[in-house]
């Protein structure tokens, strides 16, 4: 691919200029192809300086997300995963692969989503070069109710991955939003498909989107007071490829040892859950009710007490919980 070859040629010059004509000659492509490759690299986060009479040079080390950069960060080889420059939605791509018989553990990552999906039919902003968008396909042989803790467990997996790389552990807004300094870093969407006759799980897809490189001005006005990126809240940047590898390994650990023993990560979840002890709004359709969040039960449900004294344990698929005085 011209994009990768242009990047390699510029990287070999270690910040020196390389003319478009020389790139064209060395790579055996047209000047137009070089220009398009440079534009593609810039869209993925590469800072490439162009100067008349001199050509192009890498102005800074880019935060590339591709199979080569992720593979270099894995501690052991892994099968059945891919990294795409662009996709409609990594969850949708995994669903297509599931229909074609893709095995348990299949992973799709992307640098950009054109139709990223959030909970309750919302969209998830997924610009190129700024986030990590990853979905994993599992085929557990079980009844669907055994997967009730999955969304919460996935939040713990992301927290563990971020802490591995930064030393900082995000908090969790029940059930699965990662939060640092009062703002959302990550969204998680779990989608399940059941077998028609048995009612057992055919497959489940966990989709994760992490804001990494965004600046405050990159978020639209409706998210300006809610969302943040790792760059905005951590003391040092985290490479997306390293985060992808760490997250992939934590999700594999979740599948191997935690999915059917969720108690292994229960106390870790409880320690991170900032919703407990807070006043919240419980949103069930068009009905809103105020309550106090009391505890997380052993299936990761949120027990709340309403103002009339009654209590209820909420499950993530049934309702949404918001902070009474803001996002958290």
**pTM across the whole model:** 0.81
**CB neighbours of 232 closer than 8 A, spacing ≥ 6?**
183, 214, 215, 216
Angstrom distances, CA of residue 164 to CA of 113, 171, 244: 26, 15, 12
The backbone torsions φ and ψ at residue 202, rounded to the nearest 5 degrees and listed phi first, read: -85, -50
**CB neighbours of 1 closer than 8 A, spacing ≥ 6?**
none
| Tokens (6 digits) for 112 | 């950009």
Q: Using an 8 Å Cβ cutoff, are 82 and 65 in contact?
A: no
Q: Using an 8 Å Cβ cutoff, are 165 and 242 in contact?
A: yes
Angstrom distances, CA of residue 75 to CA of 67, 158, 243, 248, 279: 14, 17, 13, 11, 42
| Tokens (6 digits) for 279 | 């006043």
DSSP state of 288: E
Long-range pairs for 300-304: beta carbons < 8 A, 24 or more residues apart: 300/148, 300/149, 300/151, 300/152, 300/153, 300/175, 300/262, 300/266, 300/269, 301/148, 302/174, 302/175, 302/275, 302/276, 304/280
Counting beta carbons within 10 angstroms of the beta carbon of residue 110, is it exposed (0 to 12), middle (13 to 18) or buried (19 or more)?
buried
Angstrom distances, CA of residue 140 to CA of 20, 119, 155, 285: 52, 22, 19, 31
Question: Mean pLDDT for each consecutive 10-residue tract of the chain (328 residues)?
Answer: 74 80 89 87 76 83 85 94 94 96 97 74 72 97 96 97 94 94 92 93 97 88 88 90 96 98 98 94 86 96 96 80 67
- Give the Cα separation of 283 and 281 in Å (integer): 6
Supply the pLDDT for residue 212. Answer: 94
Neighbouring C-beta atoms of residue 163, cutoff 10 Å: 14
Q: What is the 3-state secondary structure (H, E, C) of 171-221?
A: EEECCCEEEECCEEEEEEEEEEEECCCCCCEEEEEEEEEEECCCCHHHCCH
Supply the pLDDT for residue 309. Answer: 96
**CB neighbours of 201 closer than 8 A, spacing ≥ 6?**
139, 140, 141, 142, 143, 144, 147, 192, 193, 194, 195
Q: Using an 8 Å Cβ cutoff, are 20 and 35 in contact?
A: yes
Supply the pLDDT for residue 255. Answer: 98
What DSSP string describes 291-312?
EEEEEE-TTSPEEEEETTS-EE
Supply the pLDDT for residue 325. Answer: 60
């Amino acid at each position: 691919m011209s994009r990768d070859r242009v990047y390699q040629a510029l990287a070999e010059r270690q910040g020196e200029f390389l003319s478009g004509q020389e790139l064209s000659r060395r790579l055996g492509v047209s000047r137009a192809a070089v220009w398009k490759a440079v534009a593609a690299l810039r869209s993925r986060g590469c800072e490439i300086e162009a100067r008349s009479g001199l050509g192009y040079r890498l102005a800074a080390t880019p935060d590339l997300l591709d199979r080569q950069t992720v593979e270099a960060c894995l501690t052991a080889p892994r099968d059945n995963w891919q990294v795409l420059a662009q996709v409609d939605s990594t969850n949708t791509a995994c669903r297509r692969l599931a229909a074609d018989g893709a095995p348990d553990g299949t992973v799709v990552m992307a640098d950009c989503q054109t139709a990223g999906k959030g909970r309750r039919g919302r969209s998830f902003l997924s610009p190129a070069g700024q986030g990590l968008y990853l979905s994993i396909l599992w085929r557990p042989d079980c009844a669907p109710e055994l997967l009730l803790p999955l969304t919460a467990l996935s939040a713990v997996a992301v927290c563990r991955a971020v802490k591995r790389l930064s030393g900082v552990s995000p908090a969790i807004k029940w059930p699965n939003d990662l939060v640092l300094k009062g703002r959302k870093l990550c969204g998680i969407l779990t989608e399940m498909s059941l077998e028609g006759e048995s009612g057992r799980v055919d497959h489940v897809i966990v989709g994760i989107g992490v804001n990494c490189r965004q600046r405050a001005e990159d978020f639209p006005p409706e998210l300006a007071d809610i969302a943040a990126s790792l760059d905005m809240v951590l003391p040092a940047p985290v490479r997306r490829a390293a985060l992808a590898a760490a997250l992939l390994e934590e999700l594999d650990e979740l599948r191997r040892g935690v999915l059917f023993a969720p108690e292994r990560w229960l106390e870790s979840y409880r320690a991170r859950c900032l919703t407990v002890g807070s006043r919240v709004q419980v949103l069930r359709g068009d009905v809103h009710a105020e309550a106090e969040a009391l505890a997380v039960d052993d299936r990761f449900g949120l027990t709340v007490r309403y103002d009339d004294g009654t209590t209820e344990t909420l499950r993530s698929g049934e309702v949404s919980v918001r902070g009474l005085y803001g996002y958290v």
